[in-house]
Amino acid sequence: MNILKNGNPFGAHRVLEPKGVLPQPAVKVSNDMESIYDNEILVDVETLNIDSASFTQLKSEAGGDEAKVQEAILKIVGERGKMQNPVTGSGGMFIGKVAKIGPALEGKIDLKEGDKIASLVSLSLTPLRIEKILGIKKGTEQVNVKAKAILFESGIYAKLPKDLPETLALAILDVAGAPAQTAKLVRPGNTVVIIGGGGKSGILCAYEAQRRAGVTGKIIGIEYSEAGVQKMKEYGFFHEAIQANATDAVGCYEKIAALTGGRLADVVINCVNVQNTEMASILMCKDDGTVYFFSMATSFTKSALGAEGVGKDVNMIIGNGYTKGHAEVTIQILRDSPVIRKAYEKLYA
C-alpha cells in the first residue's frame, strides 16, 4: 500500500470533479484504496445504512425489486466513488473495522487497527469502493457488503458499544442527530409535534421530547397510516397520536390548532422521508417557535419562501446530522428505554 502525503484535512485532495469543492458537493471523488494519504483512515466496511430518503427513492425507482436496488447502489458508487443518491443528494453511514491509520494521525486519535467503528459522517462525502453486495436486511435500509471506505482527518466516528448489537448501533447512530437536537430544542412545558413519530428517528425524538418537556409538556405525533398511529400509541411517548397527511398543510394545521386550542406547537420536528411536507411543519408552529427539518427530503427554497408567503415568523433549523454528544445521547436512549430497545432489537439486531 502506498502512503501519500499532504492530504487536506477535509478531504479536498480526493475530489476529482469539479475541482475546488469539498467531497460532499463533488460529483466524483477518488475511491482508490491502494493508496491512502497519511491523514486518512482506511476501513473494511461490513454494512451500509442507506439514508431513509435515499433508500425510499431507490426502492420506488426499482419497483421494490431488491436486485435492482443493489444494481442502483453499485452504479452510483461506480460513477461517483461514493454513495450519494443523485436524486436526493443524501448518503447514509457505515460500520466496519479499521484496517489502516495514516501515520500523520497516529497518537492523535483514539483508534487502533482492528477497532470496530460506525462512521458519523455521510456516505455522500465518503470515498467508497464496493467489491460485493451480500444482501439487504429485510425491513431495513441496511446493506451488507464487502467494501472499503476512507475517513478523512476531519471525519467523525463512534466506537461500537459493546452492550449493543452492531447492526442495532448502526441503525440508531444513523439518526443520532435527531434526538440529540431534540434534547437541545425542547424546554419544560413545550408542546412538540413530531411528523413521522412512528418511524425510527421519530420514536427516539419522542422519547427525548417527553423527557425534556416534562409533566407540563405535550407531545403530539403525526403518522400517515393507521398502523403508524397504532405504533405511536403502543410506545406510549405521545399524549396525542393522530393520523394525517403531512403533504396536506392546511389539514395538519387545522388538526393541531384544534388540539392546542389555537396555540399551535412550540417545536415541530419533521422526520418523514417524503417531499412537500415543509408547509405543514411551518403552519403547525407558533410564531417565534422552532421547526427542525431532520428529513433529507426538505427543500430550503420551499421552506424559506413558503414561510414568507404565509407570514410565519418561525425559526427553521436544517437537520445537521451532527451535534456534540449526539452518539452518546442516542445510545443512552436504548439503554434507558426497554420499550425502544426491545422493538429495535427485533427489527435491526
Q: Give the Cβ contact number of residue 222 at 10 Å.
A: 33
The C-alpha atoms of residue 27 and residue 314 are separated, in whole angstroms, by 34
The C-alpha atoms of residue 5 and residue 1 are separated, in whole angstroms, by 13
The reported pLDDT for the residue numbered 77 is 98
Side-chain half-sphere exposure of 220, counting CA atoms within 13 A = 25
User: Which residue has 486519535 as its cell numbers?
Assistant: 109
Do residues 221 and 246 make contact, with C-beta atoms less than 8 angstroms apart?
no
Angle at 317 between CA 311 and CA 320, to 5 degrees: 160
For residue 34, the one-letter residue type is E
The C-alpha atoms of residue 57 and residue 43 are separated, in whole angstroms, by 27
Domain ranges of the chain: 2-160, 177-342
Cell numbers at 81, concatenated: 466513488
Contacts of 304 (CB under 8 A, 6+ apart): 316
The reported pLDDT for the residue numbered 324 is 83
List the one residue out of 117, 98, 125 whose CA is nearest residue 41. 98
Radius of gyration of the chain (CA): 20
What are the 10-residue block averages of pLDDT along the chain, 349 residues in total? 92 96 97 96 96 92 95 97 95 95 92 93 96 93 96 93 86 88 96 96 96 97 96 95 97 98 98 93 98 90 95 92 85 92 85
3-state helix, strand, coil in the chain (%, to 5): 35, 25, 40
The C-alpha atoms of residue 136 and residue 192 are separated, in whole angstroms, by 34
DSSP state letter for 330: H
Q: Give the Cβ contact number of residue 79 at 10 Å.
A: 12
DSSP line for 127-188: -EEEEEEEEE-TTSSEEEEEEEEEE-TT--EEEPPTTS-HHHHHHHHTTTHHHHHHHHH--T
The C-alpha atoms of residue 60 and residue 344 are separated, in whole angstroms, by 24
The reported pLDDT for the residue numbered 226 is 96
For the chain, what is the largest distance between any 2 Cα atoms, rounded to a whole number of angstroms?
A: 66
Do residues 245 and 257 make contact, with C-beta atoms less than 8 angstroms apart?
no
The reported pLDDT for the residue numbered 52 is 86
Cell numbers at 313, concatenated: 415568523
Contacts of 13 (CB under 8 A, 6+ apart): 6, 7, 37
The reported pLDDT for the residue numbered 186 is 98
220 to each of 144, 193, 227, how far by Cα in Å?
35, 5, 16
Cell numbers at 228, concatenated: 403508524
What's this model's pTM, rounded to 2 decimal places? 0.83
List the one residue out of 294, 320, 341 whose CA is nearest residue 161. 341
* SS3 category, 240: strand
Name the CATH superfamily, with its identifier, for domain 177-342.
Answer: NAD(P)-binding Rossmann-like Domain (3.40.50.720)
The reported pLDDT for the residue numbered 61 is 94
